[in-house]
Amino acid sequence: MTRASRIRRPVIQATSPEQPDTHAMLAHAVEEAARLLKADGAMVYLVEDDRLRFAVDAGIRNEEARQLIRGLSLPVGVGLFGHAVATGEVVVSQDYRHDKQFQHSAVADRIVAVANMRSMAAAPLIAEGEVIGALGAYSSQANDFDEAEIALLRALADHAAATVANQRLIDRLARSQEELAHRVEAQRTLAEMAAQLTSLRTPSEVLTQTLKAAVRLLRGHGGQIGMVITHPDGSMRWGDGHSLVHGELAPFTKYDHTTVDDGVSGRALHEGRVSWTDDYLIDASFAHDRPSDEIASGLGIRAVIAAPLIGASGVIGVIGVYAEEPSAFDADARELLGLLADQAAIVLANARLDEQLGEESAALARQTASQRRLLQINERLLSTLDPASVLELIADGLKTVVWYDYLGVYRVDPSEGLLRPVLARDRNAEAVLGFPIPRGQGVTWWSVEHREPVLLNEALSDPRVIRIPGTPDEPEAIIIVPLISGDEVSGAMNIARRGGVEVAFSDADFELVQLFAGQAAVAITNARLYEQLRQLYAEVEESERRYRHLVDNSPDIVWSVDDEGNFNFFSDSLEARTGWKAQDLLGRHFTTFAGEGTLPSAVSAWARLQSEPNREQRVRLDLPLPDGRLAQTEVAMTGTVVDGRFAGAHGSVRDISERERLEGDLRGQAAELAASQERAHLARELHDSVTQALFSMGLTLRTLELLLDVDESAARTKLGEARELQQDALAEMRTLLFELRPASLESDGLVQALRTHATAVQRRTGLVIVVDAEPIDRLPLTSEEALYRIGQEALHNVVKHANAENATIRILREGDRIRVSITDDGAGFEPEQVPRGHLGLIGMRQRVDLVGGDLRVESRTGGGTIIEASVPIDEVESAE
């Protein structure tokens, strides 16, 4: 094999962070060294962190040697190359394995053995006074390198060192340019985030955007960002957050609120600044948590860096980035993450403020929704008497503002000491409806008895909670509100969510449920009132039905008028009793229905009602009928008072025509009785006065007769007494006779005597008698008495037989005759059928005949009667 043939293209790729250009230049250097020194091969080691690491070679073909040399790293001073680096001198060994001038390494010796190396020379690479490595060549021959070759190696080494130094400068420049670009990008990213983040509306978006930017800018493989809550005890616990693994974002929620006290994140939080590790799993400078370590191991996490998010009130979160290589994060990365975290904290604070505003406006919206629902419920409460539909509406309305997966409404049943379910919604509804809660059991009873609403977010842990048969024993959050209206607890409403603390009800929820429960209380109370009202309505209906029956079937007409006196109601009996239809009379004034003669009574009764509405007034009114007749009626009425104000009147009208007739008959009988009493009076007067006087006179005369023979003077005395008795008797007789004759006829004349008599009859009987007379001259007493007696008899007949309401006596002169007529509107009669001697008609005719007059009788059944007597004035005068 020629030397040239021993020169090979470098094939071993170092894991050095050196740039490919440096590597290529070194490969070229070892090839040149092997060729120029006619060696079997050449190698370069570079110094890195006080150790020599193999960089590149030419000529090693043995596979074991290649494997070993690839990972070779020797301390400075060990081995031939290490000795060259340590001394800064060219070192030559003519037989490597037996050379004692340097410290041997087992690995290096093994490589030398298997690669068949005997002679070896190494020259230090010195750049800017610093040994940066060593360049050497080897040969399988002992003593193969001469002085000239050694000098050449030194020259090659110097050249390579310069080249490496230059390349390193170039690399550093390039790297710093790249770094600059990276910084520019980071700045730009930060600026973009600043702009972008301010437009983000939720903390969740801020977190994810920050995490993505951090992983990209730090060239990490993944990371996580999360909110942190500082508890009152000072411990910091996880809140919501996001992880980014293998390019995938995933939210996480640590409901158990585990403390953040382990790992790099924990250290960053506790120190309040950026913290990092080059290799997570083997770093013992922070506390390890087994689950976290398992995750790190599973994901191949090596380098980790974390920064706290610090807001105005302290730590609010933490961001961490990991890389799958160790030592991935340098000072620049640390600075960058710190900047990102600060920026995120600010934006996050803004976002939270924003979200708070959003929450407030959401709360406002919820409030508005509640108000609207409550208003709807209120309207329904007012518009419906059906409590079930209102409770359904309350349940629907509540669900739109406070989500629940169970709702129940209970009613207190005091008679049985139970809480009776009246409504159950959704989860377990059937089991709830089938289980009235016995008194004293469960939180619902507790709430009812203490009149206190209850909020339990961990209901399972409350000893008062009972389990309703048929429902699973599971964690839930519940709210129970007693339904209180007035002083009374009428029931309870409860709602529940299944789950742990994450379904907890907020204070706002609690308040809203109480608001809706208030409405439910009203609905429950209404249900009871509704039932009472329904019964009341039934009673009222019944009594109204009975009352209407009475009104409709009573002989009375029931009516009412408004405050101006216009009719606004008539009972149905109106038409049957009077022939008037209600629609003909409604709206008309009451004075339209008082006959002329009784109108003043009606008006004065109306006036009395207005001043004393509560006092019943009774008046007799003539009610005009549709056929023009007047019905005699008695009207009873009282005022209608509304709000203490006179608002009209109501009352009844009773047709008293029949009663009047009965009363008329009674008056007739009374008159007869009076007449007979008058006769009895006269008889008694006769007995008491005249009869006794005459009897005594008889006795006295008999005494006188006996005394005549015995005692004459005594007899004479008795004679005187007898004469006195006779005078007494005469005087008394004259008085009685005078009483039997109308004295007024003699003194006042015919017209006045008839007026007086008519007045007396009207007063005694109620018959309305109009005396219509023109002034006439006095007639002879016989004529006047004849006409007087005829008038008297005719009125007597009217009262006794005609059943009339009105009678008229007319007295007038017609040419040479005085005419007296008595007219009535009574029953009338058929003159031909009147039996002889009845009605005093014959007596009348005899009387009028005696004075040369005529008598005319005009009557028919139902058409009233006219009796007319006329006497000639001449005849009268001639009779005088």
Return residues touching other proteins (CB under 8 A): 687-688, 691-693, 695-703, 706-707, 710-711, 713-714, 717-718, 721, 725, 728
Distance CA 187, CA 181 (A): 10
Least separation in angstroms between residue 630's CB and other proteins is: 46
Which residue's CB is nearer to other proteins, number 219 or number 681?
Answer: 681
| DSSP summary character for residue 589 | B
Least separation in angstroms between residue 697's CB and other proteins is: 8
Least separation in angstroms between residue 687's CB and other proteins is: 7
Least separation in angstroms between residue 717's CB and other proteins is: 7
Question: Of how many residues is the chain composed?
Answer: 880
Amino acid letter, residue 374: L
Least separation in angstroms between residue 740's CB and other proteins is: 21
Which residue's CB is nearer to other proteins, number 249 or number 731?
Answer: 731
267 φψ region: left (φ > 0), alpha (ψ -120 to 50), beta (else): alpha
Measured CA to CA in angstroms, residue 603 lies from 606, 617, 620 at distances of 5, 12, 12
The residue whose two tokens read 């007749």 is 629
Least separation in angstroms between residue 730's CB and other proteins is: 14
Least separation in angstroms between residue 719's CB and other proteins is: 12
Those residues with Cβ within 8 angstroms of residue 26's Cβ, 6 or more apart along the chain or in another chain: 10, 44, 55, 56, 160, 164
Which residue's CB is nearer to other proteins, number 618 or number 702?
Answer: 702
Which residue's CB is nearer to other proteins, number 385 or number 707?
Answer: 707
Distance CA 257, CA 262 (A): 14
The residue whose two tokens read 């506390």 is 287
Which residue's CB is nearer to other proteins, number 169 or number 706?
Answer: 706
Sign of CA dihedral 444, 445, 446, 450: positive
SS3 98: helix
Which residue's CB is nearer to other proteins, number 555 or number 698?
Answer: 698
- SS3 string, 274-336, reads CEEECCHHHCCCCCCCHHHHHHHHHHCCCEEEEEEEEECCEEEEEEEEEECCCCCCCHHHHHH
Least separation in angstroms between residue 696's CB and other proteins is: 4
Which residue's CB is nearer to other proteins, number 169 or number 699?
Answer: 699
Which residue's CB is nearer to other proteins, number 611 or number 713?
Answer: 713
Least separation in angstroms between residue 606's CB and other proteins is: 50
Provide the total of helices (H) and of strands (E) in the chain, helices listed first.
25, 28
Distance CA 438, CA 435 (A): 9
Which residue's CB is nearer to other proteins, number 717 or number 808?
Answer: 717
- Spatial contact of 56 and 13, defined as CB atoms under 8 Å apart: no
Exposure string for 791-826, b = 16+ CB within 10 A, e = fewer: bbbbbbbbbbbbbbbbbbbbbeeeeebbbbbbbbbb
Which residue's CB is nearer to other proteins, number 652 or number 700?
Answer: 700
SS3 777: coil
- Spatial contact of 127 and 143, defined as CB atoms under 8 Å apart: no
Which residue's CB is nearer to other proteins, number 554 or number 689?
Answer: 689
Distance CA 788, CA 310 (A): 134
Distance CA 510, CA 232 (A): 24
SS3 200: coil
Dig out the tokens for 662 from the structure.
Answer: 């009965």
Least separation in angstroms between residue 806's CB and other proteins is: 42
- Spatial contact of 579 and 627, defined as CB atoms under 8 Å apart: yes
The string of DSSP letters for 680-696 reads HHHHHHIIIIIIHHHHH
Least separation in angstroms between residue 670's CB and other proteins is: 22
644 φψ region: left (φ > 0), alpha (ψ -120 to 50), beta (else): left
Which residue's CB is nearer to other proteins, number 16 or number 692?
Answer: 692
Least separation in angstroms between residue 850's CB and other proteins is: 35
Dig out the tokens for 62 from the structure.
Answer: 């043995």
Which residue's CB is nearer to other proteins, number 230 or number 717?
Answer: 717
**Beta-carbon-side half-sphere exposure of residue 257 (alpha carbons within 13 Å):** 8
Least separation in angstroms between residue 674's CB and other proteins is: 19
SS3 776: coil
Of 269, 266, 289, 286, give the one whose Cα is nearest residue 278.
Answer: 286
By CB neighbour count within 10 A (0-12 exposed, 13-18 middle, 19+ buried), where does 682 fall?
middle
Helix (H) or strand (E) run with residue 712 in it: helix 712-739
Least separation in angstroms between residue 713's CB and other proteins is: 5
- Spatial contact of 613 and 605, defined as CB atoms under 8 Å apart: no
Which residue's CB is nearer to other proteins, number 389 or number 727?
Answer: 727
| DSSP summary character for residue 635 | E
Least separation in angstroms between residue 721's CB and other proteins is: 8
Which residue's CB is nearer to other proteins, number 721 or number 868?
Answer: 721
- Spatial contact of 312 and 171, defined as CB atoms under 8 Å apart: no
Which residue's CB is nearer to other proteins, number 426 or number 721?
Answer: 721
Please report, in angstroms and rounded to a whole number, the separation of the first and last CA atoms in the chain.
Answer: 210
Q: In degrees, to the nearest 5, what angle opens at C-alpha 129 toward C-alphas 123 and 130?
A: 65
Least separation in angstroms between residue 733's CB and other proteins is: 15
Least separation in angstroms between residue 542's CB and other proteins is: 58
Q: What are phi and psi of 309, to 5 degrees?
A: -95, 115
Least separation in angstroms between residue 688's CB and other proteins is: 7
Dig out the tokens for 624 from the structure.
Answer: 């005009």
Of 833, 831, 838, give the one whose Cα is nearest residue 796.
Answer: 838
Dig out the tokens for 99 from the structure.
Answer: 């050379």
Which residue's CB is nearer to other proteins, number 376 or number 689?
Answer: 689
Which residue's CB is nearer to other proteins, number 701 or number 812?
Answer: 701
